[in-house]
Amino acid sequence: MSRRNKRKPVAEMNVVPYIDVMLVLLVIFMVTAPMLNQGVKVDLPQVTSEPLPSDTNQKILTVSVKADGSYYLTYGEGVDNTGEGEKAVSLPEMTEKVGKILGVPGNEKSQVFVRGDKSASYGLVMGAMSALQQAGVTNVGLVTEAPNG
C-alpha cells in the first residue's frame, strides 16, 4: 500500500510583504519630514525684559513681520504656533482677516502679539500695529528673544 503524504494547509499569515510596505512608508516619512518645517523665519531682536503675563486659556493671534515687508498670521495655542498654516498678506488683507478671526464669538478676548524681524523697518511694524488697531485690537504685545549668554 502506498501511503500518500497529505499536507495540511498552512494557516499562518505571511507578514513579509507587510514589513516591506512598512519600511517603504518609513523611508517616505523620513524623507518628507524635514520638508514639513512650517513657520516664518523671523530674526527677533534680543533684549532683556520680563515676559508679559498671559492667560493660558486664551488663544493667541501672532502677526509676524518679515524684513521684506510680508506679513504672516498664525492663530493658535502659543506665540510660535504654526498649526493653522501661515499666509503672507498685505495690510488691508491682514486687517480684514484679523477682524474675521476676532469677530468670532469667543475669540474677541484673544491675545495678539507682533513678531517683528530686527531687520524690518520701523514703518512695517507700525503698519502692522495700525492694521491691528483698525481691526479692533486694543492690546498688543511685542515678541523678542532673550539674549544669549
Please report, in tens digits, the pLDDT of each residue of the chain (149 residues total). Answer: 556 677 777 778 888 889 999 999 999 999 888 777 656 566 666 767 666 666 667 788 888 888 888 888 888 776 654 444 567 677 888 888 888 888 777 776 778 888 888 888 888 888 888 888 888 887 888 777 777 75
- Per-residue pLDDT, 83: 40
Q: What is the pLDDT of residue 77?
A: 73
Considering the entire predicted model, what is its pTM? 0.59
Nearest to 140 by CA among 62, 77, 74: 62
Query: Quick check: 61 and 75 in contact, CB under 8 A?
Result: yes
SS3 115: strand
Taking the domains of the chain in order of start, what are their residue ranges?
Answer: 60-142
Distance, CA of 103 to CA of 136 (rounded, Å): 9
Amino acid sitting at position 129: M
pLDDT computed for residue 19 by the predictor: 92
User: What is the per-residue pLDDT across 94-116, written as a single tens digit (0 to 9) for each?
Assistant: 888 888 888 777 776 778 888 88
Q: Crossing angle for the helix pair 91-103 and 122-134, nearest 10 degrees? A: 40
State which amino acid sits at residue 67.
Answer: A
Q: Which CATH number fits domain 60-142: 3.10.129.10, 3.40.190.10, 3.30.420.270, 3.90.1150.10?
A: 3.30.420.270
* CA–CA distance, 109 with 88 (Å, rounded to integer): 24
Grid coordinates representing 19 are 514589513
